[in-house]
Structure 1
């Protein structure tokens, strides 16, 4: 009887992870748990509700109509709970009002230090913390109220959990994704040509926000369709090192690739007579609910600075 089962918050988060991936193995990996244990938690949730949320078959996992309804409600419940926790902590005398930024790895070292200095944001803070991780981990940390701000590369329709009325964002920078290769020492041209067959491709994992951006670009999908994936990583910095060593081609933010390009260690790979680049935004997200006075004053400063700063 489901009345005897005590529901746990982690089950709701598991449910949303499975909705996102529709794959038990991938969802279990996101949740840092073994697949059998993850499956048992989903079954326990379904037992508590009293109906099936996911239809399983050997080849696929799909949401039932009941699952669609419950996932929408679960997302709202999770946000309400974490917002309640955050607001409660902010009114506590024991609460540490330190401002916490969460940022993807690529932006943590390529963008954040210069941005925080250029915008004079750090001048408003006695102390602040930067948490660097993969995009999925950053989303989890941020939505759970463990940070006030999240900094990431962004394009519309990249399947973020943040595209709702619970969050606000502002553009604070821009970049371009470019396809790069190590140069050929003899010809001075890129080592790998798009005319070659089965070019070795250095790819982003599903944890990466940049990977999500690229997977939604028809031009990128068309170009990489016949490439041979030889390496996968969450980190643009790792793909950068692999590309410099000549292991294959990689899509990288221009801001990260520029240093190696200026030193002659990388070249942009482009179709004949075409410059291929994918413009992306750098956006800062915050919770729509009121934050601490320090965080609100910081947000107001960032908004004013963004309005005065050209791309």
Structure 2
């Protein structure tokens, strides 16, 4: 048994697709598939049903899921605890944050949290939502910072994870003033790996009477969609924290046409299991932000 097999198992459960899971794990798909087969060989049963549409857990795989996630987190925590006892532990806080929040929200937020007393060490992993979730689930980071919306429940068991609100944001329906949406509304969409995409999809599902959108481009990066919107390629729901300057300058304007803005929270998630003295002190110092 190898730890990376459990990490691969968790990644495939989240993505339900061998190709996407291999990308999350930064290996080739054939190598990833061999490691999943090795895990199945070790436990002695098939854990996934393979179909052309992807991979889903067998009954045996479902019975293993909670233990696999918990064991992975505990192994990482055990290493941190042992290093702390030996006096070798780095007093570094490990964060994962989605791309848009890494560039726009995190720097100012962490300065405010430090409040003139710099933290000894900070490690920030920036990626799409699916990858960030995997980092937290596997125990490779202590904290995950992401957008959250009431219509999209977190993919974390509330018995094993908790969160605090650390900011508010809005996804603004924006377009270039040069874009003509009278005949059609070209839509700049988020991909399935994007947390913002889940929020937009939930909003559209809850408002089935919205104008018809014609998807012309997709990306998991809000910054890429912003760039395409500036080039009058379509309309996009963009975080206010990212697009505020372009809106102030008039380079992007509200779409109208019945497309509403979407309110969202910015939350930091952590596992309920102990994070060590340094991590727990940091968590205790955080104050919930009043929601808008």
Report the CA distance shift for 1:101/1:54 in structure 2 as closer, same or farther (over 3 A): closer
Query: Within 5 A, what are the aligned runs for 1:140-289?
Result: 140-156=134-150, 158=152, 160-184=154-178, 191-193=179-181, 196-197=183-184, 199-217=185-203, 218-219=205-206, 223=210, 226-230=213-217, 232-272=218-258, 276-289=260-273
SS in structure 2 of the partner of residue 123 of structure 1 = coil
CA 1:58–1:302 in 2, change beyond 3 Å: closer, same or farther?
closer
Structure 2 match to 1:301: 285
**Contact map agreement 1:159 1:212 (CA 8 A) in 2:** no
- Deviating runs (4+, > 6 A) in structure 1? none
Between the aligned partners of 1:153 and 1:266, the Cα distance in structure 2 is 22
Provide the C-alpha distance between the structure 2 equivalents of 1:127 and 1:74, rounded to a whole number of angstroms.
29
What CA deviation, in whole Å up to 9, does each residue of 1:118-148 have, x standing for no partner? Answer: 4554526244343333223333333444433
C-alpha distance in 2, partners of 1:38/1:221?
39
Q: What is the aligned-residue RMSD (CA, Å)?
A: 2.7
Equivalent of residue 26 in structure 2, options 19, 23, 32: 32
- For this pair of structures, how many residues does the alignment match? 291
What does 1:113-128 correspond to in 2, within 5 Å?
113-121=107-115, 123=117, 125-128=119-122
- The answer to which of 120-129 and 28-37 deviates more is 120-129
Compared with structure 1, are the counterparts of its residues 222 and 256 closer, same or farther at alpha carbon in structure 2 (3 Å cutoff)? farther
Structure 2: state its 5+ residue gaps: none
Larger Rg belongs to:
1
Scaled by the length of structure 1, the TM-score of the pair is: 0.81
1:219 CA drift (Å): 4.3
User: Which of 112, 125, 138 does residue 132 from structure 2 map onto?
Assistant: 138
Aligned to 2:286, what secondary structure does the other structure show?
helix
Provide structure 1 residue ranges, at least 5 long, that are not aligned to the other structure.
Answer: 1-6, 185-190
Distance in 2, matches of 1:64 and 1:294, equals 39
Task: Give me the TM-score of the superposition, normalised by structure 2.
Answer: 0.86
